[in-house]
Amino acid sequence: MTSTLQTFTDAELKLIRKLAAQPPQTILTIRKPCLLHSVCNPLPLFRVYKIDDESFEAQWNGYHEQGVKQVFRFGEVL
């Protein structure tokens, strides 16, 4: 677990609520097309992975670079 404070956007919270009802090992993402390249396959800007019924991993990426990963508890976020 991490002690870093992270504020989720409304779209991210909606995805986390949906993830909570899914089985462990489910991955949900927020993807947007790359604004610089018309034919590239960008990383998801936000990715959540359900570890178990109590916790999940969140990752924030750029279009072309992986970003920070943090583990959270559903009960502390929702």
Query: What digits encode the pLDDT tens for the residues 6-34?
Result: 689 999 999 999 999 999 999 999 999 88
pLDDT at 5 over 50: yes
Across the chain, the runs of DSSP E, i.e. the strands, are 27-30, 46-50, 55-60, 69-73
Q: How long a stretch of residues is the chain?
A: 78
Question: Using one digit for the tens of pLDDT, what is the confidence trace for 25-61?
Answer: 999 999 998 888 778 889 999 999 999 999 999 999 9
Q: What is the pLDDT of residue 41?
A: 86
Rounded CA-CA distance 50/48 in Å is: 7
Answer whether 0.75 is exceeded by the pTM: yes
